[in-house]
Chain A
Amino acid sequence: MKSFAFHAAIVLALFALQFVLPAYHHANAARIMVYAVLAVGYNVLLGYTGLMSLGHAMFFAAGAYGVGLSIYWLGFAPLAAFGVGAASGLVLSLVAGLFLLRTTGVAFLIVTLMLAQAFFLSTLYFNGVTLGEQGMVLTNVAAVEAFGTSFRLSDPTVKYNLALAIFSAAFLGSLWLVRSPIGRVLIAIRENELRTRMLGYNTFAYRYLAITVSGTIAGLSGALYCLLFSYVGSSFASLQYSTLPLLWTLLGGAGTVIGPLIGTGLMFYLIDISSGFTSSYLLVVGATLLVLTLWFPKGIAGTLRSRWLGWLP
Chain B
Amino acid sequence: MNILGVRNLSRHYGGLAAVNDVFLDVAHGEVRAIIGPNGAGKTTLVGMISGRITPSNGQIEFHDKDITRTSSWSRVLLGIVYTFQVPSIYRALTCYENVALAAQRKHVSEKVVSAAVKKSLMRVGLANDLQRLAGVLPHGHQRLLEVAMALALSPQLLILDEPTQGLAPSEIAAFCELVRDVSRSATVLLIEHNLKVVMQLASRITVMDQGSILTEGTPLEIEQHPAVRRVYLGH
Residues of A at the B interface (CB closer than 8 Å) are 181, 184-185, 187-188, 191-192, 194-203
Chain B residue nearest to A201 (CB atoms) is B73
Q: When the two chains form their complex, are residues B88 and A184 in contact, meaning their CB atoms are under 8 A apart?
A: no
Q: B76 to A191, Cβ gap below 8 A?
A: no
Of A192, A195, A197, A198, the most chain B CB neighbours within 10 A belong to A198
Task: Please tell me if B231 contacts chain A, counting CB pairs below 8 Å.
Answer: no
Task: Looking at the assembled complex, report how far the CB atom of B132 sits from the nearest CB atom of chain A, in whole angstroms.
Answer: 13
Known contacts A184-B100, A192-B88, A195-B88, A201 near B93 by CB under 8 Å: no
A200 touches B77 (CB 8 A): yes
Report which residue of A185, A195, A197, A202 has the largest number of chain B beta carbons within 10 angstroms of its beta carbon. A195
Contact of A188 with B52 at beta-carbon distance under 8 Å, contacts A199-B149, A199-B153 already known? no
The distance from the CB of B84 to the nearest CB of chain A, in whole angstroms, is 8
A200 adjacent to B92 (CB under 8 Å): no
Known: A195-B89, A199-B76, A199-B102. 13 other contacts (CB 8 A): A184-B97, A184-B101, A188-B93, A191-B92, A192-B89, A194-B52, A194-B88, A195-B88, A196-B101, A199-B149, A200-B77, A201-B73, A202-B74
On whether the beta carbons of B73 and A200 are closer than 8 Å, the reply is yes
Closest residue to B83 on the A side, CB-wise?
A: A198
Q: Which residue of B lies closest to A205 (CB)?
A: B73
Q: Is the CB of B72 within 8 A of A201?
A: no
CA A191 – CA B104 in complex, angstroms?
A: 17
Which residue on A lies nearest to B75, using beta carbons?
A: A200
Proximity string of chain B (65-87) to chain A, C-beta cutoff 8 Å, 1 when within and 0 when not: 00000011110110000101000
Is there contact, CB below 8 Å, between B90 and A188?
yes
Min C-beta distance of A188 to chain B, whole Å: 5
A200 with B153: CB separation less than 8 A:
yes
Interface size on B, residues (CB 8 A): 26
Please tell me if the beta carbons of B92 and A201 are within 8 angstroms of each other in the complex. Answer: no
CB-defined A-B contacts under 8 Å, sample of 30: A181-B104, A184-B101, A185-B101, A191-B90, A191-B93, A192-B88, A192-B89, A192-B90, A194-B52, A194-B88, A195-B89, A196-B101, A197-B73, A198-B50, A198-B73, A198-B88, A199-B76, A199-B101, A199-B105, A199-B149, A199-B153, A200-B73, A200-B74, A200-B76, A200-B77, A200-B105, A200-B153, A201-B105, A202-B74, A203-B73
Q: Does B7 contact A (CB under 8 A)?
A: no
Docked pose: A197 CA to B73 CA in angstroms: 5
Q: Is B225 an interface residue (CB 8 A)?
A: no
Contact B92 A184 (CB under 8 A): no
CA gap between A191 and B101 in the complex, in Å? 12
From residue B188, how far is it (CB to closest CB) to chain A in Å?
A: 17
Separation of A190 and B93 alpha carbons in the complex (Å): 11
Determine the residue in chain B with the shortest Cβ distance to A200: B76
The minimal Cβ–Cβ distance linking A41 to chain B, given in whole angstroms, is 23
Q: Which of B200-218 contact A (CB under 8 A)?
A: none
Q: How far is the CA of A187 from the CA of B91 in the complex (A)?
A: 12
Chain A residues, CB < 8 A from B102:
199-200
The residue of chain B having its C-beta at the shortest distance from the C-beta of A187 within the complex is B93
* B residues 143-165 touching A (CB-CB < 8 Å): 149, 153
Q: Closest residue to B92 on the A side, CB-wise?
A: A191
| Residue of A whose beta carbon sits closest to that of B131 | A310
State the 7 A-B residue pairs at the shortest beta-carbon distance, nearest first.
A200-B76, A191-B90, A200-B105, A195-B88, A181-B104, A197-B73, A200-B77
Cα-based distance from A184 to B50 in the complex (angstroms) = 23
Chain A residue, CB-CB nearest to B89: A195
Residue in chain A with minimal CB distance to B88: A195
Complex: A187 Cα to B92 Cα, angstroms = 10
Q: Separation in Å of the A4 CB from the closest CB of chain B? A: 15
Residues on A with beta carbons closer than 8 Å to the beta carbon of B50: 198
Residues of B within 8 A of A184 (CB): 97, 100-101, 104
For B153, list chain A residues within 8 Å (CB).
Answer: 199-200
Give every chain B residue within 8 A of A198 (Cβ-Cβ). 50, 52, 72-73, 76, 82, 84, 88
> In whole angstroms, how far apart are the Cα atoms of A199 and B105 in the complex?
8
